Amino acid sequence: MSVGIRGHLVHFPSDPSSGGSEAVQNFSDGVLIIESGRIAACGSYAALAERYQACDERYHYPDRFVLPGFVDTHTHFAQTDIIASPSPSLLHWLEHYTFPEEARFSDPNHGQVVAQFFIQELLRQGITTASVFATVHPESCEAIFQAANACAMRIIAGKVLMDQNAPDFLCDTAEGGIEAARALVERWHGRGRLRYSVTPRFIPTSSETQLRLAAALYHEIPDLHLQSHVAENEDEIAWVKRLYPKSRSYLQVYQDFGLLGPRATYAHCIWFDDDDRRLMAATQTAAAFCPTSNLFLGSGLFDLASARSHGLTVGLATDVGGGTSFSMLRTMQEAYKVAQLKGLTMTAEECFYLATLGGAKALGLDSMIGSFKPGKEADVIVINPEATALCSRRMQSTKTLSEQLFVTMMLGDERMIEQTHILGRPMQTIEPEGAAHAN
């Protein structure tokens, strides 16, 4: 089965911040040829017209940007219903909103309803891959895997591990939590496009035994992922310091338990020193930059320039529900502003890179997704840069692609996401080109 997608193709085969004219590839009238869900060719319509016309299904999006799907490197599906709940800080947020809400996921039906909404919302936002926290309940992880699998999405998820310093109704046990995780790994890891991530919530809520067992599981099974939080908020850091007074830093505690490494992604990474950044880079551990969450909870400003200068891999993340939007365009806007406050002015290309191939790299999936390189899986989004009256008006005075991408990013939201293709197939019902004449 072959699919052709025609439009203004733009993708970012390497990091625009480190220069190189090949960092941005752009075909104003371009075509993607997709065979069995994978990119077979990417180029100009002039060069690929014949192959496009021969495709079983063709989709033509004139005057639309066609990009690789967005990658959200850190989010919590079970916090969908508490997004936009006011709180002075992280620990208050956890106690007053997160824990009571997550308790509802002991009911598998509730988990299924929320997981289905969450997956549909990702698709509406053009997010085709995400690294997702479930709750402590294995049923919640089942629910998100089932919902993602039904749409053939490439989703990474894990059951939260939490056996102390949390309400009893949300605690597993050190061994029981790992056993439940192992059962989920056996059932879901590598099934379809799904991957399992070992998911200790953060240092204070797991016992030493549980952290050791989590590390053992992560190292035992090939290609397993790991996700957690680090150095988000100063009260949280002080708490970790009380628990591990001899440790050099919060991040060092994770390292001492063996919880850093390839395919491990840590959200926030705000209150780092250069030794922490070096440790992240040396262990190939990635950072998930969560600007809307960090601003909303008043946690602090991620230092992207320092992360880059130390060779850290960084992806962008919504961190729903501490984050205030599912939209990666809105997340890019806030990332841009946080960088401004840290003395770094980003280009739109850099932000789009972080939201696509940069995120794929952070999750260790860049050989599969994130750009239009032939052989990769064809997760593709269609952006209408003139979706609102203001955007349409503002676009009239742009002269370059850079300006158009910048306006798209700064004024954009889900209204701009016109279509999301998973493995080449559109997720909202539209007739392929020429279908009306097929019979």
Tell the smallest beta-carbon distance from residue 202 to Zn ion (Å). Answer: 9
Tell the smallest beta-carbon distance from residue 190 to Zn ion (Å). Answer: 25
Q: Which of 319, 377, 379, 418 binds Zn ion (CB under 5 A)?
A: 319
CB atoms inside a 10 Å sphere around CB 32: 29
Q: How far apart are CA 251 and CA 254, in angstroms?
A: 5
Question: Which range in 191-199, 267-275, 337-345, 408-416 contacts Zn ion by CB under 5 A?
Answer: 267-275
Tell the smallest beta-carbon distance from residue 364 to Zn ion (Å). Answer: 19
Site residue total, Zn ion (CB under 5 A): 2
Residues 134-193 that bind Zn ion (CB under 5 A): none
Q: Which is nearer to Zn ion, 64 or 229 (CB)?
A: 229
Question: Which range in 49-57, 251-259, 313-321, 353-361 contacts Zn ion by CB under 5 A?
Answer: 313-321
Question: Which range in 41-49, 139-147, 180-188, 263-271 contacts Zn ion by CB under 5 A?
Answer: 263-271
Place of tokens 């919880």: 259
The CA distances from residue 241 to 209, 246, 249, 279, in Å, are 18, 8, 8, 18
Q: Which is nearer to Zn ion, 10 or 267 (CB)?
A: 267
For 126, phi and psi rounded to 5 degrees? 80, 15
Tell the smallest beta-carbon distance from residue 299 to Zn ion (Å). Answer: 11
Q: How far apart are CA 209 and CA 212, in angstroms?
A: 5
DSSP code per residue over 272-313: --HHHHHHHHHTT-EEEE-HHHHHHTT-----HHHHHHTT-E
Question: Which range in 11-19, 146-154, 296-304, 317-325 contacts Zn ion by CB under 5 A?
Answer: 317-325
**Which residue in 301, 369, 371, 311 sits closest to 336, CA to CA?**
301
The letter for the amino acid at 429 is T
Q: How far apart are CA 23 and CA 269, in angstroms?
A: 26
Tell the smallest beta-carbon distance from residue 121 to Zn ion (Å). Answer: 17
**Which residue in 256, 323, 321 sits closest to 292, CA to CA?**
323
For position 418 contacting Zn ion by CB under 5 A, the verdict is no
Residues 212-251, one symbol each (x = binds Zn ion by CB under 5 A, - = not), give ----------------------------------------
Q: Which is nearer to Zn ion, 319 or 386 (CB)?
A: 319
Q: Which is nearer to Zn ion, 31 or 267 (CB)?
A: 267
Q: Which is nearer to Zn ion, 201 or 361 (CB)?
A: 201
CB atoms inside a 10 Å sphere around CB 125: 26
Strands (E), 240-371: 264-268, 286-289, 313-316
Tell the smallest beta-carbon distance from residue 79 to Zn ion (Å). Answer: 8
Q: Which is nearer to Zn ion, 75 or 249 (CB)?
A: 75
The CA distances from residue 242 to 161, 230, 250, in Å, are 21, 15, 11
Tell the smallest beta-carbon distance from residue 155 to Zn ion (Å). Answer: 16
Tell the smallest beta-carbon distance from residue 228 to Zn ion (Å). Answer: 9
Place of tokens 């991530």: 197
Q: Which is nearer to Zn ion, 75 or 371 (CB)?
A: 75
Tell the smallest beta-carbon distance from residue 261 to Zn ion (Å). Answer: 19
Q: Which is nearer to Zn ion, 88 or 434 (CB)?
A: 88
Q: Which is nearer to Zn ion, 131 or 356 (CB)?
A: 131
Residues 68-127 that bind Zn ion (CB under 5 A): none
Between helices 108-124 and 138-150, what is the axis angle to 10°? 40
Tell the smallest beta-carbon distance from residue 396 to Zn ion (Å). Answer: 40
Say which residues have a Cβ less than 8 Å from residue 439's Cβ, sequence separation at least 6: none
Burial (CB count <10 Å: 0-12, 13-18, 19+), residue 208: middle
Burial (CB count <10 Å: 0-12, 13-18, 19+), residue 396: exposed
**Cβ distance 129 to 363 under 8 Å?**
yes
Q: Which is nearer to Zn ion, 228 or 356 (CB)?
A: 228
Point out which residues bind Zn ion (CB under 5 A): 267, 319
